[in-house]
Amino acid sequence: KQEVTQIPAALSVPEGENLVLNCSFTDSAIYNLQWFRQDPGKGLTSLLLIQSSQREQTSGRLNASLDKSSGRSTLYIAASQPGDSATYLCAPDSGGYNKLIFGAGTRLAVHP
Amino acid sequence: NAGVMQNPRHLVRRRGQEARLRCSPVKGHSHVYWYRQLPEEGLKFMVYLQKENIIDESGMPKERFSAEFPKEGPSILRIQQVVRGDSAAYFCASSPSAQGADTEAFFGQGTRLTVV
């Protein structure tokens, strides 16, 4: 059974810092992995999708890496801004059809 | 270019009533997924549907819950005889494909169900 752990659970930083959010999963037989952000009381916004054959994906200030064999993914946020404040969720697809298993998330607060 | 649309955004039901949650996927997407987020818990997969077919309902409670995605119209998640423990945020997601490169799931804003 796939289990996903995200570290740290919460993070509070001044703006401008480069951040590292970690995700580990117990079953390395995944099809892909998605990173999302969730704002309080809102839905999920897809940030990056990494296929199982890829090592990383980049979008703007975000970079996600995937080490499938060791069951780890990392989300890097460069030059953080207050608008980045949200909960970040990691979700590997273990079923091959968006059967996503979510971690509890990292709650990020970036203060001016 | 509308994303996934869910309605209502908030729904209040008394114990024993029925709740019907609607989801219109992104135009052109034929794969729909429902997830539930209980208070203070992570999102959990409930069901995966592809036009008129239920593909995987392994995350659905065995009783009172059902889902459909008809040929025409939105996907519906139906909860009969609601109980307080059904209070949660229910999220719908859609994707253009379930395998290959186009599998990215796009989520709606969710329906927050409160059972009183």
Chunked in runs of 10, what are the mean pLDDT values of chain A (112 residues)? 94 97 95 94 91 93 96 98 97 89 95 95
Chain centroid offset of residue B8 CA = 12
Could you give the C-alpha distances from A79 to A36, A47, A97, in angstroms and in order?
18, 16, 34
Mutate to test the interface with B, among A25, A97, A101, A102 (most CBs of B within 10 A): A97
The sheet carrying A4-7 orders its strands as A4-7, A19-25, A72-77, A62-67, A56-59
Top-confidence residue, A15 or B71: A15
B29 touches A at CB < 8 Å = no
B54 touches A at CB < 8 Å = no
Contact criterion met (CB < 8 Å) for A44 and B55: no
Q: What is the pLDDT of residue B1?
A: 52
Minimal C-alpha gap between B105 and chain A (Å): 7
Q: Which residue does chain A place closest to B88, by CA atoms?
A: A41
Q: What is the pLDDT of residue B79?
A: 98
How far is the first Cα of chain A from the last one, in angstroms, to the nearest whole number? Answer: 41
Q: What is the pLDDT of residue B66?
A: 97
Q: What is the pLDDT of residue B106?
A: 92
B74 touches A at CB < 8 Å = no
Contact criterion met (CB < 8 Å) for A99 and B42: no
Nearest one of B60, B32, B101, B112 to A57, comparing CA atoms: B101
Q: What is the pLDDT of residue B102?
A: 62
Relative to beta strand B5-7, strand A56-59 is unpaired
Q: What is the pLDDT of residue B96?
A: 86
How far is the first Cα of chain B from the last one, in angstroms, to the nearest whole number? Answer: 36
B93 touches A at CB < 8 Å = yes
Taking a C-beta distance cutoff of 8 angstroms, is the pair A108, A9 a contact?
Answer: no
Q: What is the pLDDT of residue A30?
A: 92
Taking a C-beta distance cutoff of 8 angstroms, is the pair A99, B95 a contact?
Answer: no
User: What is the rounded average pLDDT for all residues in chain B?
Assistant: 92
Q: What is the pLDDT of residue A98?
A: 85
Q: Which residue does chain B place closest to A37, by CA atoms?
A: B107
Mean pLDDT value across residues B47-66 = 94
Other Cβ atoms less than 10 A from the Cβ of B48: the count is: 25
Using an 8 Å CB-CB cutoff, list chain B residues near A94.
none
Chain centroid offset of residue B16 CA = 20
Top-confidence residue, A6 or B51: A6
Contact criterion met (CB < 8 Å) for A51 and B35: no
Distance, CA of B9 to CA of B37 (rounded, Å): 14
Here the tokens at position A53 are 């054959």
Mean pLDDT value across residues B62-76 = 94
Going by the DSSP 8-state scheme, the letter that residue A25 receives in this structure is E
